[in-house]
């Protein structure tokens, strides 16, 4: 059984697998452990990852990137409308109101949902893992930002389902990092000692996340999380792009924003410049040849200028840090270590801000890029029966408070109850019992909508119209932050009783372990309890209609699965066609080298010219008439070429054999 952890980032992805020797981050077909989150669509197939990123400038309108934050959102979402202005491809509304991505594929206009686009990326990651492991990959753990809502998480799960991945758990980025950090630590305090507090800081391409975790031997508890979903590496890139756009407009009279290809090239160069400034404080050049209108452009910047340019962004770093310390009631002296991960934390000014806030040196013991994927792989190994992993319990935290609201029988008022407070332990279950006389409605929602980076506060609406009088409705609400937010599991217990309360009663039973000392206390001077009458319990299946804020219907999901299967097959056929074409070209080059090498002295000049003519004719055919042929045409051409060249190969081998006999 395979054990795979997937870090699906906004800019790039990493794959970690569990082997007998530990956790390993695997490489793709380009021997690169980083796979870009880019999909490019062409007239014959689609390309994903490194090959797609290489086409991002030349094939801008049909190359899709930076789509991770579109999950679970409607097209009319203000965030989507703002992002739409900065994309090289078209966003359009889907029939269900979701975000659609319009591209030209197979010379036809196609509309794909964000779930389908993410599924395509997961297809590539799955293939890479399978090629490395030499066996099928089904079970996995996928990372998501800790601020993702229930709707966004369900959208990611749907994407995994499209490609046949069984996502055992959606794991928060910061929890994965903490697990990767703590499971290898041998010096953690024992369970009865004061825990070690470690703060993890992650600034990636599109978001800034922090978490405080308490570690004991074999135990991890997330105390709290804070974040800025709109602060990341791309914001620093944008500052550089804006600066050079203004400079080029003044210096060269060129408007970089008027041409998408020029703008994309500038983004790429600014990202490279940003990385260079992290390790060099001197003036660094930015040069782009044939930028626009056949003009070359150049500029320069140093680290101090860059920090001055990004002063506003650097000030925002402290806000989530203050929020985290306030939530957890921690003081900076309580923090034992501060670990940083994420590509953008390599910027010296970012490091300095974090170190100054906590008053201590920051640690970089974890791999900044691969820590999340490794943590996901560890979680997958813990959940898998095929691997034996050291006992290590993980308790996550609920990022947003969640409440329930229900309607009363005879009154026009509603009852509200906060089920999970912010930073409540997760996964966690609570049983809420409602004694009702008629049809029942229940709705889960985020208690603090302004604190959620998502426009919709509702999570799920539950409705029961088929109701049996005299029965109680018991609802098990499970908060599993690692899967998809609030996971409702419906149970109904019926009690036949002649006296049913006229108004609903709400009771909450939490799955906490009772205190052992209190449980063993003996009751003194208490009269014996009266014998309770036996109550007949009847279990009834109560139909519940659940309307989630975001989830693909079965018919739509099946259609997406079928479409993805067809696209995978088309990619496979195109690869086989290209392989057959390349085989002809390779044979031409190989045989030509041998004609001018070992074969040369075994044939006369006339035969030598005849063979060269045959190879040249084949090569010309490849680049002209044979440029775009079916696979079978290349197979036939290769066979024809091999038949024509085989007499010389046999003659060469025969002569070699005779020469060996003479020498003997």
172-218 pLDDT, tens per residue?
999 999 999 999 898 999 999 999 999 999 999 999 999 999 999 99
Domain tally, the chain: 3
Q: What is the mean pLDDT of the chain?
A: 86
Per-residue pLDDT at 477: 63
Same domain (yes/no): 133, 90: yes
Q: What is the pLDDT of residue 552?
A: 86
From first CA to last CA, the distance across the chain in angstroms is 56
- 410 plus 423 within the same structural domain: yes
411 shares a domain with 383? no
CB 14 within 8 A of CB 391: no
225 with 83, same domain: the answer is yes
Highest-pLDDT range among 33-47, 423-437, 471-485:
33-47
In a domain, 295, yes or no: no
Same domain? For 71 and 214 the reply is yes
**Shared domain check, 36 and 130:** yes
**Which CATH number is 456's domain given?**
2.60.34.10
Q: Using the 3D structure, point to which of 360, 394, 428 is the last residue of a domain.
A: 394
Q: What's the domain range around 489?
A: 400-495+538-552
Are 548 and 458 in contact by the 8 Å Cβ rule? The answer is no
pLDDT of residue 388: 82
Please determine, for residue 74, whether its predicted confidence score (pLDDT) is greater than 60: yes
Domain of residue 333, CATH code: 3.30.420.40
- 250 pLDDT band (50/70/90 cuts)? very high
User: Each residue of 600-623: pLDDT tens digit?
Assistant: 777 778 888 888 888 888 889 988
Query: 333 and 198 in one domain?
Result: yes
Give the contacts of 403 (CB within 8 A, at least 6 positions apart). 416, 417, 418, 419, 444, 445, 446, 447
The rounded distance, in Å, linking the Cα atoms of 567 and 571 is 6
pLDDT digits (tens, 9 = 90+) for 269-311: 999 999 999 999 899 999 999 999 889 999 999 999 999 999 9
The pLDDT-based confidence of 516 (bands split at 50, 70, 90) is very low
For every residue of 273-304, DSSP letters joined together read HHHHHHH--S-EEEEEEEEETTEEEEEEE-HH
Indicate if 34 and 134 belong to the same structural domain: yes
Backbone angles phi, psi at 100, to 5 degrees: -110, 145
- The 10s digit of each residue's pLDDT in 525-579 is 455 555 666 766 666 777 777 788 878 889 999 999 999 999 999 999 999 999 9
Look at residue 588 and tell me if it is in a domain: yes
Residue 520 within a domain: no
Between 363-372, 423-432, 556-565, the lowest mean confidence (pLDDT) is in 423-432
Of 375, 394, 413, the residue that ends a domain is 394
- Decide if 618 is inside a domain: yes
> Are 160 and 43 found together in one domain?
yes
End of a domain among 394, 412, 447?
394
Whether residue 294 is contained in a domain is answered as no
pLDDT at 82 over 70: yes
């Amino acid at each position: 059984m395979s054990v795979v952890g997937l870090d699906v980032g906004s800019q790039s992805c990493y794959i970690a697998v569990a082997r007998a020797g530990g956790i390993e981050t695997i490489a793709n077909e380009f021997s690169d452990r980083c796979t870009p989150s880019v999909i490019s669509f062409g007239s014959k197939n689609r390309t994903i990852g490194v090959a797609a990123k290489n086409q991002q400038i030349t094939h801008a309108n049909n190359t899709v990137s930076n789509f991770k934050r579109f999950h679970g959102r409607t097209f009319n979402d203000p965030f989507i409308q703002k992002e739409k202005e900065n994309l090289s491809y078209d966003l359009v509304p889907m029939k269900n109101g979701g975000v659609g991505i319009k591209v030209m594929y197979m010379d036809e206009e196609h509309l794909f949902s964000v779930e389908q686009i993410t599924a395509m990326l997961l297809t590539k990651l799955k293939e890479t893992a399978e090629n490395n492991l030499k066996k099928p990959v089904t079970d996995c753990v996928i990372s998501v930002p800790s601020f993702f809502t229930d709707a966004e998480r369900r959208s990611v799960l749907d994407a995994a389902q499209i490609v046949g991945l069984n996502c055992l758990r959606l794991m928060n980025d910061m929890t994965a990092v903490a697990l990767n950090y703590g499971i290898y630590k041998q010096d953690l305090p024992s369970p009865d000692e004061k825990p070690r507090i470690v703060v993890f800081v992650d600034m990636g391409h599109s978001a800034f996340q922090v978490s405080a975790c308490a570690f004991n031997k074999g135990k991890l508890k997330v105390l709290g999380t804070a974040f800025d979903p709109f602060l990341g590496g791309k914001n620093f890139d944008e500052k550089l792009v804006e600066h050079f756009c203004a400079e080029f407009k003044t210096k060269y009279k060129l408007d970089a924003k008027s041409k998408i290809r020029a703008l994309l090239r500038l983004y790429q160069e600014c990202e490279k410049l940003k990385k260079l400034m992290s390790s060099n404080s001197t003036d660094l050049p930015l040069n782009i040849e044939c930028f626009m209108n056949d003009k070359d452009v150049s500029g320069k910047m140093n680290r101090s200028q860059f920090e001055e340019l990004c002063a506003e962004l650097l000030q925002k770093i402290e806000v989530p840090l203050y929020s985290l310390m306030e939530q957890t009631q921690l003081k900076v002296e309580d923090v034992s270590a501060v670990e940083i991960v994420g590509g953008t934390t390599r910027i010296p000014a970012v490091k300095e801000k974090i170190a100054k806030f906590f008053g201590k040196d920051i640690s970089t013991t974890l791999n900044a890029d691969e820590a999340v994927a490794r943590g996901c792989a560890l979680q997958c190994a813990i959940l898998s029966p095929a691997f034996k992993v050291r006992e290590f319990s993980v308790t996550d935290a609920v990022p947003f408070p969640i409440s329930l609201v229900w309607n009363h029988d005879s009154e026009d008022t509603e009852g509200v109850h906060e089920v999970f407070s912010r930073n409540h332990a997760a996964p966690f279950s609570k049983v809420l019992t409602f004694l009702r006389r008629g049809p029942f409605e229940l709705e889960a929602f985020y208690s603090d909508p302004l604190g959620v980076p998502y426009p919709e506060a509702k999570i799920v609406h539950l409705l029961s119209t088929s109701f049996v009088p005299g029965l109680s409705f018991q609802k098990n609400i499970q908060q599993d932050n690692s899967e998809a937010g609030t996971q409702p599991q419906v149970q109904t217990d019926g009690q036949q009783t002649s006296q049913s309360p006229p108004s609903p009663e709400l009771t909450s039973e939490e799955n906490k372990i009772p205190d052992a000392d209190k449980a063993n206390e003996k009751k003194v001077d208490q009269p014996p309890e009266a014998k309770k009458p036996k109550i007949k319990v009847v279990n009834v299946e109560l139909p519940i209609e659940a309307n989630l804020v975001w989830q693909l219907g079965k018919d739509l999901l099946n259609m997406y699965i079928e479409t993805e299967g067809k696209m995978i097959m088309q990619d496979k056929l195109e690869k086989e066609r290209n392989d057959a074409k390349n085989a002809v070209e390779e044979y031409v080059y190989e045989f030509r080298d041998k004609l001018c090498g070992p074969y040369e002295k075994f044939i006369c000049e006339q035969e030598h010219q005849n063979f060269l003519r045959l190879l040249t004719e084949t090569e010309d055919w490849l680049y002209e008439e044979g440029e775009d042929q079916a696979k079978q045409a290349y197979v036939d051409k290769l066979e024809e070429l091999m038949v024509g060249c085989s007499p010389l190969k046999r003659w060469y081998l025969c002569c070699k054999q005779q020469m060996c006999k003479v020498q003997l």
